[in-house]
Amino acid sequence: MRKLILVLTIVLPLSSHAQISWDEIDRLAADAQPQVVEWRRWFHQNPELSNREFNTAARVTEILVGMGLEPRTGIARTGVVAVIEGGKPGPLVAIRADMDGLPVTEETGLPFASKARGEYKGNEVGVMHACGHDNHMAMALGTAWVLNEVKQELPGSVMLIFQPAEEGAPEGEEGGASLMLEEGLFAERKPEAVFGQHVGINQPGGQIAVRAGPLMAASDRFKMVVKGRQTHGARPWNGVDPIVVASQIVLGLQTIESRQVDVTKAPSIVSVGRISGGIRSNVIPDSVEMEGTIRTFDAEMREQIHVRIERTARLIAESAGASIEFELISGNPAVLNDAQLLDRMMPTLKRVSGDRAVADVQPQTVAEDFSLFVQEIPGLYFFLGNGLPGVDPATLPSNHSPLFDMYEPSLEMGVRALSHLVVDYL
């Protein structure tokens, strides 16, 4: 007798919200691209110096309000923060973009080139988005628009951070990431992770570059006065020559990273950028002023180098009968990409890059106060090449150049990358 086999088909109801597709994100990013370019050009044409980003903040706020968001303003003077509340329960993640320009007079000749002027250290200067922050803001806003369009399907929420004074607050003022955190940026709601990107940094056009661990250096400054004893230049034995002592100190400082710390552990740089002393060829002055920068990647080495700079300079001066006054100005720590977060999100970056491999970039000796956010929460920061694809980036004007520019079609890549990172994480 044949057995009758009864096959039951069980139809399960669909979830109340469909999952966000990668194709949908890409379509929205493409739709946003013309507006992102328009925003970028407005920011580029209207740059403002650190802690003076009043019109910039007003424009960012206006755009976010136009999306139906409710931004908070005046954080760390001119910072703007908004949250896209997802339609499903889930964690909070953050996107950060910096807002300030530099005291650089633009020479690009672009039709939307900056003609802005500002005051820097008491001098009237040209102002330019010579480090690409105009692009960072535009891409963050484009990402906000994409995510806001699919917010009902988002299993979590997104904090949008528009940060002032990344290039450093004016002397005597506080600002930047440190002030935003001090004023309670994460006090009420702390994100699980923070994402950010930087254009340029000598990367091929349109290429994403990233690495785990140290990505950008810690940056500190020092000031030093070498104090000797003034005398006639024809009778140097009657005084103590601070110019000769300062010269010996400059050479002595170069032995710190080459002879006094473990060079196999991490690279480091000590550079003297300013020396000032004397007013006449035949007068040995009383003192010489020096200023320099310190770049490190390892926290322990950073502390060692700080101690060794002062000790080396002081002992060299004392050997010649001179003395020093030394001041260390601590800056930003190194930007450290969270290794587990990068491992989790690397498939996303590879997918967004398509047939262009994600570059494993070497640590960069430039600095960024995004580092302060990643001291609070895991962070992922990556580079996006600013030039025309296929052109050697070494032949292009670098960040902080009066000729720095952005190949605007690559802005869509930046919007896609941030949008995919957020959606995949959530």
C-alpha distances in Å from residue 411, one per residue of 91, 207, 310, 401: 27, 11, 45, 20
Which pLDDT does position 9 carry in this prediction? 39
pLDDT in tens, 404-421: 999 999 999 999 999 999
pLDDT at 280 over 70: yes
Spatial neighbors of 235 by CB under 8 A, at least 6 apart, are none
Report the amino acid identity of residue 338.
Answer: D
Active-site residue identified among 166, 257, 338, 369: 166
| Sequence-distant contacts of 236-240: CB under 8 A, at least 24 apart | 236/284, 239/284, 240/320, 240/321, 240/322
Decide: helix, strand or coil at residue 278: coil
Query: Mean pLDDT in the chain?
Result: 95
Domain range list for the chain: 22-216+334-425, 218-332
Q: CA angle at residue 243 from 326 to 278, to 5 degrees?
A: 100
pLDDT at 2: 40
Residue 363 CB burial class (10 angstroms; 0-12, 13-18, ≥19): middle
- CATH fold of 22-216+334-425 reads Aminopeptidase (3.40.630)
Residue 153 annotated as catalytic: no
Q: Which residue in the list 48, 53, 98, 100 is annotated as catalytic?
A: 100
- Residue 403 confidence (pLDDT) above 60: yes
**How far, in Å, are 125, 205, 270, 392 from residue 362 at the CA level?**
34, 17, 19, 17
DSSP string, 21-75: PHHHHHHHHHHHHHHHHHHHHHHHHS---TT--HHHHHHHHHHHHHTT---EEEE
On the question of pLDDT at 356 being above 90, the answer is: no
The answer to whether 57 and 99 are in contact (CB under 8 A) is yes
Task: Map residue 199 onto helix, strand or coil.
Answer: strand
Structure confidence by residue, pLDDT tens digits, 74-120: 999 999 999 999 999 999 999 999 999 999 999 999 999 999 999 99
- What confidence tens digit (pLDDT) does each residue in 166-189 have? 999 998 999 999 999 999 999 999
Interval 256-283 mean pLDDT: 95
> What is the structure's pLDDT at 19?
85
Q: For residue 320, is pLDDT > 90?
A: yes
| Per-residue pLDDT at 17 exceeds 90 | no
Q: Rounded to whole angstroms, how far apart are CA atoms 417 and 406? A: 17
pLDDT of amino acid 286 = 97
- Whether 100 sits among the annotated catalytic residues: the reply is yes
Q: What is the pLDDT of residue 268?
A: 96
Question: What is the predicted pLDDT for the residue at 18?
Answer: 62
Residue 229 neighbours by CB under 8 Å, 6+ apart:
239, 240, 286, 321
Q: Which CATH architecture has domain 218-332?
A: 2-Layer Sandwich (3.30)
Tens-digit pLDDT profile for residues 239-260: 999 999 999 999 999 999 999 9
pLDDT of 1 > 60? The answer is: no
